[in-house]
Structure 1
């Protein structure tokens, strides 16, 4: 069933929906098709058409933003561009992937279907739209995983791009995910240490919660058993700004007494469930490791690397508790209610070795598109040194390396960050003349 929505005006902005039917597999159109949704945003008062800027959302597996007002990076973008907010395939209104929509497929069919939802096909969808619009070139803005998509676009269709702006999302174009997770586990440990240095009492609070979960049967409001490993995963929040204090508040109010016994509060448990985005956006868990794979299997990379960082494997009686970060693990498909039906497909994807290429090093080595990037020095998700290593191989690219922001810099101060990147892109272009 396909739903369509009308255009509307709100807060001085005009929002126009667009729908496209694209192949599931661009190499084999007989495999079926998908609906792709994208929302055009312009200033309502604009009379002349401006050039396009396409936004690639972070993730993988999350839809494009639903703006509420003319603010942040969108406000700056609309001065120069008309913006296209693309719901990447499988998200938002683009043939959404969930445990519901995959239920009719066998595990092998699920894995085969999901294998077509990586950056290469997200970029091919965008290129399909560019051609449908009759646009010669457009600019792209990629946040986090959207930056990975941007380098794929620069690899596959460089002539289609006028500018590339990337924030917190310059990946390695050749490294194994083991290298990535070794770096991010170390960053995650540093963030834990910062948090517990600021809130020393939080360490005892975390151990109290973890020990309670290890020795009691606790269920979340959806009936799912709540475990130490799940509790540790709220550490993903430490990769974005202004999350230490809210996390401490949550820990502080975790327990109440019922019949004289300590019990985890319903409010706390409900908050823990609300933070489990894997339930509603399973692409993140299913395909997260594959975003690094080109011709090899991930083989549950983060889980293997975790064993080299045993401090993250908490047991009652341990001296220190550590939260984990942006990693996925095989046990998630045994514990999370909405991931359980996808366990077999997840294992097939983890062992899939014949992934195609996401980047073309030879094309990137001759890049002519101005590429301006915000690289965050303390990024818990995308390692600065790896980003710098990649950009050193891409001519006409420039990095603004800053410790003013965490990974969510574009959301926290997008107007300033995009203004800086646009200025950098213009400078690169002028130097080419």
Structure 2
């Protein structure tokens, strides 16, 4: 037994590490390390259960470090042994950060980072499947993990027994401009809902924004806080049960210091802790590239936003939060993104991104694909998901407004149970048709 293997509450956790090619087109070239954690019930019979590999949302975030006694993992362990994959560049998988990229120049950084999209995440999964000697396994993809699932179904469908997707069915051909036009509209709707529920919040937000326009405030890491950064707290609106915590946060924003109104250290620290771009730069630097196939993003969200002046705050206008978008100014303002500014521009201008999806393969899909599609999802537009699924045989969507984008985290046991039942029905229908 690996010395890092342990048992907790009757569940066995076993780590695995693999050396894989950075660039699979050059298999004898540079390698990187991929970490994955196997989780199963500790009884001997669990060792013969089929495998389920989990693809985390993002891009740029590691697989969760959960216990197996609750949530989706509790349900999964009834039928599967689970592999939690730290996607390349995250967690313990050759992590990407401003520290680890520091020795490379901008062009070298861009070349290196170009190998960290869904196509190579899927190739890593295939490398692991073959290393384990598994004929087929199933996948569970949350958010960006669903994007990875469609890439997997395009590249290696023969390796998949079934796929479950929650809040993550992408367009396989649309330009990111289409995506951001839809998600900005959803973001505006979430703003309306928030400010209608909390009438005092608009004045609180305007007071904070006006203060930032005229007074320098710095986060605990020394970074100056701006109105644009404050607006990015709206990313939380895509998750369930976040309106009330947001209001409480706004309500306690100010303190009096030597007779002057200042933002409290607690408020500033909360904002810093929510700036995931600082610790997970892949999320910022490769976010728009997840939509790119043979074309450049050229800061798509920024170009779309420039058509929507309602999001440009001025003292005589209402305040609006933004959502899950990245902008070029972030690489001028965020402390840990500043060293990557030139790299981000190179990648935003990159036109030769490889295809992530194969429309012909997907149109002939035989793998059961069960999806939770959230009707009010602020990050992944329902209509775009339905458009993709209409051309994906043997797929079925459970469309629901019960959950926000984080449904798998909020009620994972029920959601996965529902998707497993849908998958079994798809398989039954396949058997009848055969």
Q: Place the TM-score, normalised by the shorter chain, in its bin.
A: over 0.9
- Give, in whole Å, the separation in 1 of the partners of 2:365 and 2:274: 40
Which residue in 1 is equivalent to 2:155? 156
CA contact (8 A) 1:57 1:64 kept: yes
Question: What do the CA deviations read for 1:261-306 (whole angstroms, capped 9, x no partner)?
Answer: 1110000000010000000000000000000000000000000000
CA contact (8 A) 1:155 1:359 kept: yes
| Cα separation, partners in 2 of 1:69 and 1:372, compared to 1, 3 Å | closer
Which residue in 2 is equivalent to 1:396? 394
Listed as ranges, the matches of 1:38-53 within 5 Å are: 38-48=36-46, 49-53=48-52
- Give, in whole Å, the separation in 2 of the partners of 1:135 and 1:30: 24
Pick from 363, 367, 370 the counterpart of residue 368 of structure 2. Answer: 370
Q: 1:30 offset after TM fit, Å? A: 4.4
- Give, in whole Å, the separation in 2 of the partners of 1:356 and 1:212: 45
Which residue in 2 is equivalent to 1:120? 119
Question: SS of the counterpart of 1:29?
Answer: coil
Question: What do the CA deviations read for 1:314-356 (whole angstroms, capped 9, x no partner)?
Answer: 12222x1000000000000000000000000000000000000
Which piece of structure 1 moves more, 101-110 or 47-56? 47-56
Which residue in 2 is equivalent to 1:171? 170
Which residue in 1 is equivalent to 2:324? 326
- Give, in whole Å, the separation in 2 of the partners of 1:123 and 1:86: 11
Which residue in 2 is equivalent to 1:82? 81
Q: 1:68 offset after TM fit, Å? A: 2.8
Which residue in 1 is equivalent to 2:16? 18
- Give, in whole Å, the separation in 1 of the partners of 2:365 and 2:6: 39
- Give, in whole Å, the separation in 1 of the partners of 2:271 and 2:342: 26
Gaps in structure 2 of 5+ consecutive residues: none
Q: 1:46 offset after TM fit, Å? A: 4.1
Question: SS of the counterpart of 2:372?
Answer: strand
Q: 1:259 offset after TM fit, Å? A: 1.7
CA contact (8 A) 2:68 2:77 kept: no
- Give, in whole Å, the separation in 2 of the partners of 1:273 and 1:263: 16
Gaps in structure 1 of 5+ consecutive residues: none
Q: 1:31 offset after TM fit, Å? A: 3.8
- Give, in whole Å, the separation in 2 of the partners of 1:226 and 1:327: 18
| Cα separation, partners in 2 of 1:141 and 1:45, compared to 1, 3 Å | same
Q: 1:85 offset after TM fit, Å? A: 0.1
Pick from 351, 356, 365 the counterpart of residue 353 of structure 1. Answer: 351
Which residue in 1 is equivalent to 2:378? 380
4+ residue runs over 2 A deviation: 45-48
Question: SS of the counterpart of 1:234?
Answer: helix
- Give, in whole Å, the separation in 2 of the partners of 1:101 and 1:298: 25
Listed as ranges, the matches of 1:8-407 within 5 Å are: 8-48=6-46, 49-318=48-317, 320-407=318-405
CA contact (8 A) 1:5 1:17 kept: no
Question: What do the CA deviations read for 1:93-151 (whole angstroms, capped 9, x no partner)?
Answer: 00000000000000000000000000000000000000000000000000000000000
Which piece of structure 1 moves more, 257-266 or 419-428? 257-266
CA contact (8 A) 1:141 1:165 kept: yes
Question: SS of the counterpart of 1:357?
Answer: coil
- Give, in whole Å, the separation in 2 of the partners of 1:186 and 1:11: 45
Q: How many residues align?
A: 429
CA contact (8 A) 1:214 1:316 kept: no
The CA RMSD measured in Å over matched residues stands at: 0.9
Question: What do the CA deviations read for 1:235-266 (whole angstroms, capped 9, x no partner)?
Answer: 00000000000000000000011122111000
Which piece of structure 1 moves more, 169-178 or 308-317? 308-317
TM-score (norm 1): 0.98
- Give, in whole Å, the separation in 1 of the partners of 2:237 and 2:148: 24
- Give, in whole Å, the separation in 2 of the partners of 1:144 and 1:90: 18
- Give, in whole Å, the separation in 2 of the partners of 1:389 and 1:68: 36
